[in-house]
Structure 1
Amino acid sequence: MKPKKTLIDAATANGSMERLNKLLSAAHLLHCEVSDLVGEASDLMTDNGLLIGELKKLHNDFIRASDRYFREFQTLVVTDNSKMAMFSDLDEFNEMLRKWAKVSAGWKVKEVES
């Protein structure tokens, strides 16, 4: 088996590392967005008594897996500039996605007379 440095150098030379970085960065932004949307949906389900049964179990499994993913990914983003760029990218992506999906931020429950 080749030493890790040799493999990394070869992948860098053939352009794979640059592509990998872009793919993982895009996937991370999507994962962050999914986590935010699922959190918002789960709050609504909880508030309305709808987060029950198998859905609640699967939701909790998803949250635990996401937490593990974010803890690990956090070790890869080490500079303050990288962290700030990531949050800036996430804010821009969130705004574009919510506009496209017609899911505005800051939505409030309608007050219903009973």
Structure 2
Amino acid sequence: MTDTISREKFLNAVKFNADGLVPAIAQSCSTGAVLMMAWMTRHTLEETLATGHVTYWSRSRQKVWRKGESSGHVQRLVEAFVDCDGDTILLRVDQMGPACHTGAPTCFFRKLGE
């Protein structure tokens, strides 16, 4: 079951934390792989929804960053979901090149061993 809601209702459903941030999970629309997790502000979410270019908030640099602005490995938004509690966003994206800054296809390449 999927409910389709307007952009305004989507934005109003998102519950940003005390720092004005919400976690955003990027998932490949073609493979289903979880690519990365990053943070968004209302502004970066609005920009992403308006332009289709996924834009995040960098906590370490304290600034807006558009995915791929320096590497060329951009993410194009295909679909956006907000979870049932409103405290996490799922972005289904078309990823150009690797998603991870290390050059790995996904940021989740380290697995717990025995």
Structure with max Cα Rg: 1
Give the number of the structure whose residues are more often strand, by fraction.
2
Give the number of the structure whose residues are more often helix, by fraction.
1
State the TM-score bracket (shorter-chain normalisation): under 0.3
TM-score in terms of structure 1 length: 0.24
TM-score in terms of structure 2 length: 0.24
